Structure 1
Amino acid sequence: MELEVKPRIYVVRLGGDNPKLSTALKLVRLGYAVRIHAKEIPPHSVVLNPFSREILKPSDSALLRRYGVVVLDTSWNSGLEDLRSMVGRRRYEQRVLPVLKAGNPINYGVLTKLSSVEAVAAALYITGFKRYSLEILSKFKWGLTFYELNKEYLERYSSTKSAEELIKVQNEILRSMGLQP
């Protein structure tokens, strides 16, 4: 089911990488996202954090629709401590994305090492905002490459009914890649 509302997208810039190459800041420049400080994260919004213990699931769509999605923009090389420090904060809903392959030129094909725009697009797709997800990806030369690499996975994740079912699907995907969950 395609949801009509376009969730608000927030960017918390933690630094650590070249701002000119930041996909999150490009979303801000294009008018798709609003840049905020960490202390301004809206209560109950979904914060994408790779260190969260709770996985993003389709039923999180109500949270995205009402409160928005927040991407923590930092470098995979130098910003991981900033991300870890945010785990456990209760004001907002932190979620980790299920396993996906990066389509960006820097980490192409690497599992879970997504750019900010890939993370936001995946969250939107999984929670039912598929057209909006593809619209955002289309603003990047390689954006639809991410979609093509992950189309089957995104569809399977978006059709699950619970976190348990989503994790089961993720484990099946990992096994199909020759990896042990």
Structure 2
Amino acid sequence: MIAIFSDTHSHRGHELTGEALAAAREADVVIHAGDFTSVAALEAFQNECDRFYAVHGNADSAAVSDRLPTSRVLEAGGVRFAVTHRRDGSETGLAMFGRAEAADVVVFGHSHRPTVIDAEDCLLLNPGSHAQPRGNRPGFAVLEPAVDGEGRLEGEIREPDGTLLESFDVTGTV
């Protein structure tokens, strides 16, 4: 399983509860699209997750930004992920970033709004914020291998209590 988070905005810790905490602990890979805000939040995530890949966001302290890149690319579950907090140009900028990195999925944050957009060449995925939804529904994403075993991942954006917000599929090119 791959678990995806963003926009924690905490000075205390990871702020994970319920199904979100279980997903972070059980996932083979955890991705975070930035805005931990504090080193305490970053380290709390690192302590919960075996394989943790993160970028920094615009609200992160200098101590967090010094530890994390602005963007990164990784492969998991047969899918290539390009991760950033935000890109100028909104959807177009995110899609261009995905194309430049030959990504199947662009993971991003910043808006705190759980979002899945089919950008033709790649899927744009914002898991939302599990801790600071700012008027949106709180969210995080999980992706698991499809039961048909065809190199596809089945994804869901869920609220921390497990309530399903949206389902989607990703076909990897890796």
Q: Relative to total residues, which structure has the larger helix share, 1 or 2?
A: 1
Q: TM-score range by the shorter chain?
A: 0.3 to 0.5
TM-score for both structures, normalised by structure 2: 0.35
